[in-house]
Amino acid sequence: MTQKKNNSSARTGTQIFRDITKDAAALKTAAEIIQSGGLVVFPTETVYGLGANALDAGAVGRIFTAKGRPSDNPLIVHVSGIDQILKAASSLPTAAKLLFEAFSPGPLTIVLPKNEQLPDIVTACLPNVAVRIPSHPAALALLKASGLPIAAPSANRSGRPSPTTFGMALEEMNGRADAIIDGGDCQIGLESTVITIIHNEVRILRPGAVTDQMIVKVLGRPFTISHAKANDSKPQSPGMKYTHYKPKAEVLLCKNLQSAVLDIRFASKSIGIIALKNHAPQIQGTLSVKEFATENDYAKGLYKAFFELDQIGCEIVLAESLEEQGIGKAIMNRLLKASGGSWADKN
């Protein structure tokens, strides 16, 4: 069967939409699926999300089922602009407003007091809701056309790397969601920065492309910044206690790739390497290498690299460690989770 360009039905009943920003009929259908309680996978500038009407508890429940997500892990609510935030939150404190004005639409999520209309299932019964305004044109188009706040976690099955390409989103959610919107490759490739603001302290619950330095610049003194630790005994962001971002292969962090690949432990294994350009060893034919010219490219390509190295059956992935600065902080956060903190070359 040949696939129609838009609104085509895949084998499993999941509809595929392309170019929704240019195809009014496809956009209308996608918005109607959200309005009628269905699930739509949509692209954002960070990763693909699995969206449902945030005001419909039944629809949100379907997200948890489709992902196999624990019910105590709350969802981010996406809105189309600052003027829509009170559809999910009960108030917008000044510091949060300043940060949204500086970085939205974009990869910043702020935890705010929850609006009473929002069903408890969205926030896993927490009194706060995480809110974000995505910048991908297809995400904004869907939010505006549906006229609703959209609850959306990353569109992976629980515990797996977030999809950052249409192909990955299809692999994860074909047959589980009602529709998938093709928006190409995600520009940033790592999930949004999640923060909470308590008095004059900004706490970074999950590092992302909006960095601590960028936040400090906007708020200035007297604000201080702190980072939640992944192994906090009582995590402020419930998602932090779950294993995330893990491919099938065993991931090991690595400072010196040259010596690590010569390690006898790896002699009989099929090895994948993820590294900055020219840092991978030149051993022809035995290694599968994913190289990135810049740290931003590393962030953008990390989950796709995990996905592709899994597809070719790598047993071990050696991932080059980076300085925990700028986007490097977010990359290391995801690599530490994917590896469970295991290093190939550090005691």
The bridge status of strand 8-9 relative to strand 15-18 is antiparallel
Closest CB 134 distance from ligand TXA, rounded Å: 6
Whose Cβ is closer to ligand TXA: residue 54's or residue 261's?
54
Question: Could you tell me the sign of the dihedral formed by the alpha carbons of 160, 171, 321, 44, in that order?
Answer: negative
Whose Cβ is closer to ligand TXA: residue 46's or residue 333's?
46
Site for ligand TXA in 244-283 (CB under 6 A): none
Residues 108, 130, 173, 197: which binds ligand TXA (CB under 6 A)? 130
Site for ligand TXA in 167-196 (CB under 6 A): 191-192, 194
The bridge status of strand 15-18 relative to strand 179-182 is parallel
CB 11 within 8 A of CB 127: no
CA 21 to chain centre: 22
Closest CB 79 distance from ligand TXA, rounded Å: 11
Whose Cβ is closer to ligand TXA: residue 14's or residue 254's?
14
Q: Which residues pair with 16 in a beta bridge?
A: 8, 180
Residues 149, 161, 239, 326: which binds ligand TXA (CB under 6 A)? 239
Q: If binding means CB under 6 A, how many residues of this protein chain bind ligand TXA?
A: 30
In angstroms, the CA 282 to CA 217 distance is: 42
Q: Out of Mg ion, ligand TXA, none, which partner does residue 247 contact, by CB within 5 to 8 A per kind? A: none
Q: Return the closest-CA partner of residue 133 out of 124, 145, 143.
A: 143
Residue of closest CB approach to ligand TXA: 239
Please report whether residue 128 would count as binding ligand TXA according to CB under 6 A.
Answer: yes
Q: How many CB atoms lie within 10 A of CB 139?
A: 28
Burial of 142 (0-12, 13-18, 19+ CB in 10 A): buried
Q: Near ligand TXA by CB under 6 A, which window of 22-30, 237-245, 258-266, 287-295? A: 237-245
Positions in the binding site for ligand TXA (CB under 6 A):
44, 46-47, 49, 73-76, 109, 111, 123, 126, 128-130, 132, 134, 152-154, 191-192, 194, 205-206, 236-240
